[in-house]
Every structure is written in structure tokens, then in C-alpha cells.
Amino acid sequence: MKVWAIANQKGGVGKTTSVVGLGGLLASQGQRVLLVDMDPHGSLTSYFKYNPDEIEKSVFQLFQHKGEVPLDLPRHLVIDTPYNNLSFLAASTSLAILERQAQNQGGMGLVLTKTLNCLKQDFDYVLIDTPPILGVLLINAMAACQQVLLPVQTEHLAIKGLERMMRTLKMVMNSQKRELPYTVIPTMFDRRTSASVDSLRILRNTYEGHIWPSAISVDTRFRDASKAGVPPNLYEPGSRGVKAYMSLLKYLLGQEPIRMDSSAVP
Ligand SMILES: Nc1ncnc2c1ncn2[C@@H]1O[C@H](COP(=O)(O)OP(=O)(O)O)[C@@H](O)[C@H]1O
Ligand SMILES: [Mg+2]
């Protein structure tokens, strides 16, 4: 089972869209995919038309057992989407309380790791959507994953936000005493604006060797797909954005040669 965490402490950079975008593609390729919503906002949960304010089956329940996870609980919490091979663990807004509670209780950092252990026969890929705050939920995601994807909007403020995320990531790697491979993913790229083009250049210089050589372009179809509650690749398979996520997925799976794609920068 491969586990990827999608993280950035800035909101609105394309985390949830990347989770559903990549997860939808993997599921269409026949991989059994589990998406995990660790964000108290529950955007991923809302994407699939569940209400995070009311939902009872959620990751919140996993944290109610003093850091242990009853063996049959994870399977009980998995929700199937209407789409083949695509399931998810929902977030409820009560997760926000947990961030505060868990500060005072040790031993809560491996709850998600233990949860996924119970599910490793059931899924090939797990994609974790994370909250924009450094707390017990983000720490759980970092502990459970084998690599981190860092979507970043191609604009100047977002680059500052990414610097903060990188400090967090290094801190987590230090405390967990392991190297976590990470890939920066430029998103919402608009080749017509100099802000976008400049930002992409800066990102490529700063994160050389750790950045996907292309970029996800701005595509309004993502918003439409999200409104419809359908993974982007099933909503409009031929759209520019879906093609970009296909190319990203190939890169992540090691099927695409690693080279700088200069086509994104005029
Ligand atoms: N490449 C893109 N082009 C246009 N809109 C996008 C793109 N990626 C995401 N969006 C939209 O931007 C908003 C924020 O994206 P989202 O994935 O929810 O970010 P995050 O999870 O980091 O907060 C959503 O409305 C989403 O539909
Ligand atoms: Mg989100």
C-alpha cells in the first residue's frame, strides 16, 4: 500500500483538488484507492456530498481510544463513493476540537498509521488530505505517509506559505528521524500572467530536484467537477487540467523521464 500526504499550510492552493484529481485517476486505472480527509473543514467530505457538520462516521472516532485503534473500526468507517475503486474516510467538524484536546494527551501521533495498518489488504493507494494548520492531524498524516506532495499556487504569497510548510516538514523529519521524499507541485498556473510565470521560475530555482517539472494550469472545470461531486477525470476526461494531473501521476509513478519541461514558461 502506497501512502501519499498532500500538504501545505496555506489554504486554497489545490490540496483537495489534487487528492481527488490523482485519486480519481488511480481508481480509473484499477487501483483500489482510499482518500482520507484530515481537514476539519471537510472539503473532501463535502466534495462527495456528505455534510461534515452532521456526519457520524468520521476520522474523529479513530482518536477517541487513547491513541489506540480498535482493529475493526477503520473498516467500519470507510465510505464507498459511487465511483469504482474509490472510497474515503470522512472528516467531521468536530476534528477541530481534537486539535485542542490532543495537545494535552501524548501518544496520539500514530493513530492514522495504526488505522492504515488495519486497511492495508483493502487498498493499493491512500491519499491524505491535510489541514492548513500544524497540529496533531498534520503530524498524523506525516507519520503515516511515505511521501509528501506539496501543491503550491503560482503566485508570490503562496511561495511564502510554502517556505513555512518546508520548515514544518524539516521539523517533522527531524523528530521522526527519517527522510520523507517530497515533491512541490505548481498549481493554478496561468501562462498569460507575469506573476504566474515569475513564480514558477522562482519555485523551480528554489526547489530544484524536488519539484515536478511541469505545472497544473488554471482550469475552471475543477470547480465545476467539485460542484457536481464527480472526480475531475470522470467529469471531463479531456480537459486541460485532467491531462496535467495525468502527466503528474505518470511522473510520480516513475513512468515519465525526469526533465525540466520548459513549455510551461514562455
Ligand atoms: N488548477 C486549478 N484551476 C482552477 N481552479 C482550481 C484549480 N485547482 C483548484 N481549483 C479551485 O480552487 C479552490 C481551492 O482549491 P482546493 O483544492 O480546495 O485548495 P485547498 O485544499 O488547498 O484549500 C477550489 O474551488 C478549487 O475548485
Ligand atoms: Mg482543502
pLDDT digits (tens, 9 = 90+) for 72-121: 999 999 999 999 999 999 999 999 998 777 666 678 999 999 999 999 99
Check pocket membership of 185 for ligand 1, CB cut-off 6 A.
no
DSSP per residue, 185-196? EEESB-TT-HHH
Ligand 1: which of 223, 224, 227, 239 to mutate, judged by most atoms within 8 Å of the beta carbon?
A: 223
Among 166, 65, 156, which Cα is nearest to 118's?
Answer: 65
pLDDT-derived band at 134 (thresholds 50, 70, 90) equals: confident
Cα–Cα distance between 12 and 152 in angstroms, integer?
9
In this prediction, residue 260 carries a pLDDT of 46
Cell 523528530, residue located: 175
Q: Cα angle vertex 195, ends 190, 200, to 5°?
A: 70
| Cell numbers representing residue 251 in the block | 511522473
Check pocket membership of 15 for ligand 1, CB cut-off 6 A.
yes
Q: Which amino acid is at 148?
A: V
Instruction: Give residue-wise pLDDT tens across range 21-68.
Output: 999 999 999 999 999 999 999 999 999 999 999 999 999 999 999 999
- Beta-carbon count within 10 A of 207 CB: 19
* Domains in the chain: ranges and CATH: 2-256 (3.40.50.300)
257 pLDDT exceeds 80? no
Cα–Cα distance between 201 and 208 in angstroms, integer?
10
Cell 459511487, residue located: 82
In this prediction, residue 102 carries a pLDDT of 63
